[in-house]
Amino acid sequence: MSSPFLALNCRDGGTPQARRYVNATASAVGVSFGALDTGTAHANHQGVQSRRLIQFGGDDNTWIGTTGNQIYRTTDAGASWASVKTYTSMHADTCHKTGIYVVDISGVPTAVVVYLPTTVTTLRATYSTDGITWVDVDPIALGVSLPTGTATGWSSELLFNNTIYFLAVTGGNANDFVCRFNLGAASASAISLNAFYENAGSALVAWNGSIYMVRTDNALVTRLYDVTAGALSIAVQLDTSTVSQNVFPTKYTAFVDPTTGDLAVWYYRTTALGWKCVQIASGSFTIIDQTATVRPLALSGTTAGGNSPVTSGLFASVDEEGSPGVAAPVTLYYRAHQTPGLSLTHYQWNGFGAVMTLIGTGGNTAHALGIANRGGLGPLTWTASTLRVRPISWTGQGVSGGVRFSFKLYGPLGNEAVKVRAYRRTSPQPHTQFPSTLSGPSVGTISLDGFFNEGLVADNGVTTYTVVIALEADGVPNATPGAIVLDVVAV
């Protein structure tokens, strides 16, 4: 099961308000604020998985959220909100924006939102290092016109190697696009899916150092495409027959199985057959149909009695943040229809050898659940009055054998005795994290096993602590891509 996480109602129900999800149960948090997104009458791709609300720039109760044409900030867990940014020259359909992602800019965590300006042949962004002061990025030309209107939306967002990826999709007869934006390089691009790929179910996923798209084309064939190089390249065909359904509201999903490292892909076939799950072997791209093994009845079609409609969708949630150091739990949220206001069904992924189990039902399809690409930057999990570590910056310059992290500590009392550890991920999979050796603390000592910086106090940001993540001592070669997740533990 996933850890409790933050969500935001930005599509339906009067005015936006923060939510806290415990599995599929959603509770309102704080007061309402701002205005709902516009242009979402049929934008079923929008919401559900976008990171519209995250913790950033302060203690456990300091969040930033985006809805409508503005970014808002709270320092009291939603009890009050203030607008900190109005988007510059934003398109009238304010649903055309990503969630809030945190990227590494010169070793500083930087929040960024990508959005569509009034000139639809460009992308624009705004970013902040403190959540208060926001800097605009000038429009970057794409060479194409992105779709707008009530039948369009952005979906399948993910952050990979400091680049934000998303699908700009439409339910009409216009092109769909795979878009990407890199703040550090001030670059953006769009891969046209052209008329052969329009009006279809789809998903993006990062796997083995590449970005892949699952897509059903107009010939009713579902394939896995490699889009890493900026163009479509067929990796493997998922179906041997042309029976796959390509209706606009369907939302596919794909994720890496934490046990095998293979790719799990869910896509819709027909109203008679319902949902199908295939396992794609890492390296060989061998396809194994796992539908009969893993699919619960509710995801089957009319033939099996599940009656899952073509308007349904699946959204995978990989919880790296809640329990660092273990295989990240994978759960899936299922919506039977795209209509905002209906409930979700929550399933536990149990690997390729067992059927998914029901966790519960609830929540709302109008909520931006914040379940896309969770990975420690811009925390989404939240429980009141908990210990929290906030990374401030990191650098490898002048550091022998590792990376020096600066961080602050927070606790409900402001004087808790704590210790801090770090987990590293150097695998392309977002599931494998290992305890990292620490050295050179600015305060306290290193434990005998080398994995804890002991003797610290969660003083609510008064002290800026530093410690070296000794990657070389752990056998990690220089310049190896990966991620570090800090964790604070009470003594």
Our CA angle for 271, 198, 349, nearest 5°, is 50
For the chain, the helix, strand and coil percentages under 3-state DSSP, each to the nearest 5? 5, 45, 55
Q: What confidence score (pLDDT) does residue 488 get? A: 94
**Residue 46: pLDDT above 50?**
no
- Residue 455, C-beta contacts closer than 8 angstroms, at least 6 positions apart: 419, 443, 444, 445
Task: Tell me the CATH number of domain 388-490, given options 2.60.40, 1.20.1530, 3.40.190, 2.40.160.
Answer: 2.60.40
Contact (Cβ atoms closer than 8 angstroms) between residue 63 and residue 54: yes
The CATH class for the domain spanning 5-368 reads: mainly beta
Residue 288, beta-bridge partner list: 279
Tell me how far apart the alpha carbons of residues 421 and 480 are, in angstroms, rounded to a whole number: 20
Among 134-143, 214-223, 320-329, 474-483, name the most confident range: 134-143
**Residue 340: pLDDT above 80?**
no
Mean pLDDT to the nearest integer, 449-453: 96
**Residue 373: pLDDT above 60?**
no
Residues recorded for the chain: 491
**Which segments of the chain belong to CATH 2.130.10?**
5-368
Q: How do 82-86 and 101-105 pair as beta strands?
A: unpaired
Tell me how far apart the alpha carbons of residues 478 and 43 are, in angstroms, rounded to a whole number: 44
**Residue 374: pLDDT above 60?**
no
% of residues, the chain, pLDDT over 90: 61
Q: What confidence score (pLDDT) does residue 215 get? A: 87
Name which of 6-20, 62-76, 163-177, 244-258 the model is least confident about. 244-258
Tell me how far apart the alpha carbons of residues 298 and 419 are, in angstroms, rounded to a whole number: 45
Our CA angle for 99, 199, 280, nearest 5°, is 75
Measure CA 11 to chain center. 18
Q: What confidence score (pLDDT) does residue 462 get? A: 96
Under the banding of pLDDT at 50, 70 and 90, the label for residue 259 is confident
**Residue 376: pLDDT above 60?**
no
Between the two ends of the chain, the Cα-to-Cα distance in Å is: 26
Measure CA 168 to chain center. 16
**Tell me: the pLDDT tens digits for 267-295?**
988 889 999 999 999 999 999 999 999 99
**Mean confidence (pLDDT) of the chain:** 88
- Residue 397, C-beta contacts closer than 8 angstroms, at least 6 positions apart: none
What's the pTM value of the predicted model, to 2 decimals?
A: 0.94
Q: Give the DSSP letter string of 262-300.
A: PEEEEEE--TTTBEEEEEE-TTT--EEE-HHHH--GGGB
Q: What confidence score (pLDDT) does residue 31 get? A: 97
Q: How do 403-410 and 388-395 pair as beta strands?
A: antiparallel
**Residue 489: pLDDT above 70?**
yes
Our CA angle for 146, 149, 155, nearest 5°, is 60
In single-letter form, the type of residue at position 388 comes to R
Q: What confidence score (pLDDT) does residue 326 get? A: 76
Q: What confidence score (pLDDT) does residue 284 get? A: 95
Tokens of 415: 């004087």
**Which segments of the chain belong to CATH 2.60.40?**
388-490
